[in-house]
Amino acid sequence: MSSFDPLYKVRNALAAREIPQRIHDMIVKRFPLVEEGIRRVEQASGLKYPYFYVEPSLVVSTSAVEFTHMGIFFARTIPVVGDDRLLRVVVQVTAPLIAYGLKGTIHAILAHEFMHYLELVSRIVKMRVISDEVSSTLFEGTYADSGRLLEERAVFKSDPTLVKHITTRFPEGFRDFKLEDKAIKLWMNKRLSTTRVPIDANVIKIPIEAMARLQVDQAVRDKISEFESVKLRKKRNGYV
């Protein structure tokens, strides 16, 4: 893992009194679950996890069409162009996931975002993404998300328990009612930091010149090709 401190924004939020001490301490205390999940993903996939950091906020998406619906992003995979003009793909993990998520849920989400990372890197390397598609509703967004990813059994074949965590929690988009309920009651309703993102603004736009400067190790390219070549058949009740 990198020497980069993934908790730097949490520490800054405490110093700025944007989160209370008890929330800071809870995140720090439970952060080893994230570190364990990162190591687990790396061991199962044979690849290093991308840069990741903890966002001290609840990130929610809303739709102008579905007025009564709200989606929660417990983690996101984001392409970032740095001051050096190099493109990097980073994973944002939200504080409420760490504070209230079960170990299996945290590991499943970390693994899911890792698959997003591989899929996005693959598309950038092949110059197949300039602007990702926009989903106008949360329902469409769920299916667009689940329809693009690599096969989890190909990526994490050495860890069947991790695969089960993913398939259980992402049947057709992420669902964990207990976690969502806690995030709303214990975070949003307590007026802790909440970032609202319109679902139709959740779109990736990457300049071509930045795409060309994405640095991808050959080992990552080879692994992605290996994962993409795996063809698995599905039955109604699982895999064969």
Mind giving me the DSSP string for 165-233?
HHHHH-SSS---HHHHHHIIIIIITTT--EEEEEGGG---B--HHHHHT----HHHHHHHHHHHH----
Question: Which two structure tokens, joined as six digits, stand for 120?
Answer: 């996005």
Residue whose structure tokens are 């079960």: 102
Question: Which two structure tokens, joined as six digits, stand for 9?
Answer: 């924004």
> Which residue type, as a one-letter code, is found at position 108?
A
pLDDT at position 134 is 42
pLDDT at position 123 is 81
pLDDT at position 146 is 52
pLDDT at position 64 is 53
What pTM does this model have?
0.82
Q: Which of 230, 232, 227 is nearest to 119 (CA)?
A: 227
Q: Do 144 and 132 contact (CB within 8 A), yes or no?
A: no
Residue whose structure tokens are 């469409």: 140
Residue whose structure tokens are 């995140």: 27
Cα Rg for the chain, rounded, in angstroms? 18
pLDDT at position 216 is 82
pLDDT at position 67 is 47
Cβ burial, residue 93 (10 Å; 0-12/13-18/19+) = buried
pLDDT at position 138 is 40
Task: Work out whether the CA dihedral 165, 137, 204, 99 comes out positive or negative.
Answer: negative
Q: What is the mean pLDDT of each run of 10 residues along the chain (240 residues)?
A: 81 95 97 97 95 94 60 87 76 96 94 90 73 43 55 89 87 78 94 82 64 79 84 44
